[in-house]
Amino acid sequence: MSAGTPGRLARVAATPPTLADVAERAGVSRQTVSNAVNNPDLLRADTLARVLQAIDDLGYSPNRAARNLRTRSSHLVGMRIRPAQEGTANATMDRFVHSLVETSREAGYHVLLFAGDPEDPVSGYDDLLRSTAVDAFVVTDTYLGNPQATWLEERRAPFVAFGRPWDNPAAGHPWVDVDGAAGTDLATSYLLDHGHQRIAWIGWRKDSWIGEDRRSGWSRALHARGLPTTGLASRVEDTVSSGKEASAVLLDEAEPTAFVCASDTLAMGVLRTLAERGLTPGRDVAVVGFDDSQVAQVVSPGLTSVRQPLEDVAVEIVKALQGLLGHPPAVGPGVLLRPTLALRGTS
Amino acid sequence: MSAGTPGRLARVAATPPTLADVAERAGVSRQTVSNAVNNPDLLRADTLARVLQAIDDLGYSPNRAARNLRTRSSHLVGMRIRPAQEGTANATMDRFVHSLVETSREAGYHVLLFAGDPEDPVSGYDDLLRSTAVDAFVVTDTYLGNPQATWLEERRAPFVAFGRPWDNPAAGHPWVDVDGAAGTDLATSYLLDHGHQRIAWIGWRKDSWIGEDRRSGWSRALHARGLPTTGLASRVEDTVSSGKEASAVLLDEAEPTAFVCASDTLAMGVLRTLAERGLTPGRDVAVVGFDDSQVAQVVSPGLTSVRQPLEDVAVEIVKALQGLLGHPPAVGPGVLLRPTLALRGTS
DNA sequence: TGCTGACCTTGGAACGATCAAGGCGATCCC
DNA sequence: GGGATCGCCTTGATCGTTCCAAGGTCAGCA
């Protein structure tokens, strides 16, 4: 029953009870109440019980602002989200945010979202940092280099990155990432195991670290079986139409029996080409996407897709945060997690 | 230039400057600095300039915790997100969260996300409320009744609901919602204008207020032209396969030339049925979904879909929040926004 | 009985901001 | 010229918590 008595209700509506109120009711001092909350071990059992009873009676909860002021910490983790844009992988971000919020809660943290000027990758951080509004940041979107990380490191701001420091492998900050190459390797190997020999790759342009990483898993798997990759790869924009065009060209020129793609979006393009040509995905040509998006789950025969373990990413990130914010601060090595393969109709 | 001088850097890394530091540097008192920040009008121009210069020199930003403690407000808005679950409309929520974060920023608020026990619709609110961690809540998920709203109202907690108080139209709290009926009316009327006469409805079970609302727009549009609705409606679970089965039955029994659906998920089911029967969506049979999800944008001919104006919803919600938190608090009437129709290949 | 030490408890100060009230020239008006 | 008024700035108190160092209590022991 969380409803409480009318008396308690009135109390909450007026002015929330303070430590002093609880202390008075329990017949002890403020500090004792504080200890009951933060260091229960220091109290005699009967005193503790009495204080807890008073806390419960009054519906007391420590005032966050006062506690933050005194302890110089907010138990808040800031995370910047990029402006909403159509058609990109924000579904992944959504899943990640959910996981992060839930994992953080278990660790006693809340997640503060903020937006920034899209032109300036570090805007928004500055203010939160200087006003000591958050204890740390979770930095995402490390796709091209990572200006935020450098900026935050200069300021000694605690943060954990979701994404490797591609351009600076020796960076000193903690990070957690998903091994994209392992994912595409997994997908490619699965296809090889099921008899495919000519497996094409459709990925992103070369300036994307993540894209090249995912591509490397595909080529690695083929090379491991002594198969060539020449002529089987295409690098395009991350759009459905690009995927469609690229797959049409590859089908004509290289006759692959399967496609592994850097994203579900590209894979959707492949499916369109197959539909146009009267080819049945999964039977005539296999297709594997990346990210296990909503689309992959809903599209016609079901799109097999590499799934990032975002729940685990969140857990590792929170662990790293706890290390960073501990006394003394501890920064462990980067963590690389292996994705899984969500098998569906197209493979 | 947000980098700053090395001196400023060192300062930030050690202990952030306080009001007193700025005051000393500018040769004024603390209160004057506070006024420079919060009530610049009270200062003489030259004094103001001097203080602002000192603020800039030191890289000062008011300590949030101290300010929160004194003013009893955090400039934080809490929003509970439900546990991640597969295949539901969390894409809509994602879009909404983005808009909310950006709009809140302009109003000087940040968004605090939290999770709660899935079993208990009010868990999580309690703690944040009593510890005065947030100034107000944004409540979503008001689909079936709205226990949170009642609970929060009892406690006099400021909040704005995204969703009407269906079960209690006279509820006293502010709310913002999207007129689902107007959306399906829009879709249905569009189809009618393009020559369709027999337009079927596939919606949710009757216990969903939102579902019935959306359904009413469809029937209203048909009745407005003197057309019958009998035998043209189906109410099922919100899954692709339900949509597929329902549309197959409707095609057999009522021979509609168009489908309006309560969700994109259901519409995807319709598309599957059409594909199975060799019917071309958009040419042979028109299909309209609801929510304008990623899926609608990516699926083959493009799914026409009712699009909720979530950016506007966010704007209205923030307006309502500002009213609630103003002095004196002002609570306006509920706001109902009209969705638009995202036209694509299936219509 | 008086002392020691272990263990709880206590009051005062501090965190950094804002609120309320007061000081202090200069100006105004009769 | 003197008192009231105004504009601008300063001072002291306060928000609710935790830290600090000192104080109290009580059992154990000589």
Which helix (H) or strand (E) segment holds residue B201: the answer is: strand B199-204
pLDDT average, residue stretch B295-319: 95
Residue numbers of A between 231 and 290 with CB closer than 8 Å to B: 240, 265, 268, 271-272, 275
Asked whether residue B44's C-beta has any atom of DNA/RNA strand D within 7 A, the reply is yes
Say if the Cβ atoms of A66 and B61 lie within 8 Å: no
Set of chain A residues whose Cβ sits within 8 Å of the Cβ of B112? 76, 110-113
pLDDT (tens digit per residue) in B51-85: 999 999 999 999 999 999 999 999 999 999 987 66
Asked whether residue B63's C-beta has any atom of DNA/RNA strand D within 7 A, the reply is no
Protein-contacted positions of strand C (CB under 7 Å)? 7-12, 14-21
Task: Calculate the angstrom distance between C1' of D14 and CA of A167.
Answer: 51
Looking at the predicted structure, is the pLDDT value of residue B28 above 90?
A: yes
Q: Could you give the CA distance from residue A197 to residue A255 in angstroms, rounded to a whole number? A: 11
Contacts of B153 (CB under 8 A, 6+ apart): B171, B172, B173
Q: With CA atoms as reference, report the closest residue to A302 among A323, A318, A288.
A: A288
Q: How many residues does chain B have?
A: 347
Contact of B334 with B160, CB cutoff 8 Å: no
Q: What's the pLDDT at B328?
A: 82
Asked whether residue B18's C-beta has any atom of DNA/RNA strand C within 7 A, the reply is yes
Q: What's the pLDDT at A113?
A: 96
Q: What is the pTM of this model?
A: 0.91
Protein-contacted positions of strand D (CB under 7 Å)? 7-12, 14-21
Say if the Cβ atoms of A120 and B2 lie within 8 Å: yes
Q: Could you give the CA distance from residue A56 to residue A54 in angstroms, rounded to a whole number? A: 5
Compare CB distances from A9 to B84, B113, B155 and report the shortest one's residue. B155
Could you read off the pLDDT tens digit of each residue along chain A, which spans 347 residues? Answer: 333 333 333 333 468 999 999 998 998 888 899 999 998 888 888 889 899 999 999 999 999 999 999 999 999 999 999 876 654 546 788 889 999 999 999 999 999 999 988 888 888 999 999 999 999 999 997 766 678 888 999 898 999 999 999 888 888 899 999 999 999 999 999 999 999 999 999 999 988 899 999 999 999 999 999 999 999 999 999 999 999 999 999 999 999 999 999 999 999 999 999 999 999 999 999 999 999 998 999 898 899 999 999 999 999 999 999 999 987 888 888 999 999 999 999 98
Contact of A60 with A21, CB cutoff 8 Å: yes
Set of chain B residues whose Cβ sits within 8 Å of the Cβ of A297? 86-87
Look up residue B285 and give its DSSP letter.
Answer: B
Structure tokens at B90: 């969390």
Task: Calculate the angstrom distance between C1' of D3 and CA of B51.
Answer: 35
Q: What's the pLDDT at B1?
A: 34
Compare CB distances from B295 to A68, A110, A295 and report the shortest one's residue. A295
Residue numbers of A between 135 and 194 with CB closer than 8 Å to B: 154-156
Looking at the predicted structure, is the pLDDT value of residue B141 above 80?
A: no
Q: With CA atoms as reference, report the closest residue to B247 among B194, B215, B286.
A: B286
Please state, as a whole number, how many other Cβ atoms lie within 10 Å of the Cβ of residue B188.
25
Helices marked H in chain A — which ranges?
6-14, 19-26, 30-38, 45-58, 64-71, 90-106, 125-130, 147-154, 180-193, 209-224, 240-254, 264-276, 294-298, 310-325
Q: Which residue of A has its CA nearest to B276?
A: A300
Higher pLDDT, B147 or A211: A211
Q: Could you give the CA distance from residue B117 to residue A258 in angstroms, rounded to a whole number? A: 43
Asked whether residue A20's C-beta has any atom of DNA/RNA strand C within 7 A, the reply is no
Looking at the predicted structure, is the pLDDT value of residue B10 above 80?
A: no
Contact of B271 with B281, CB cutoff 8 Å: yes
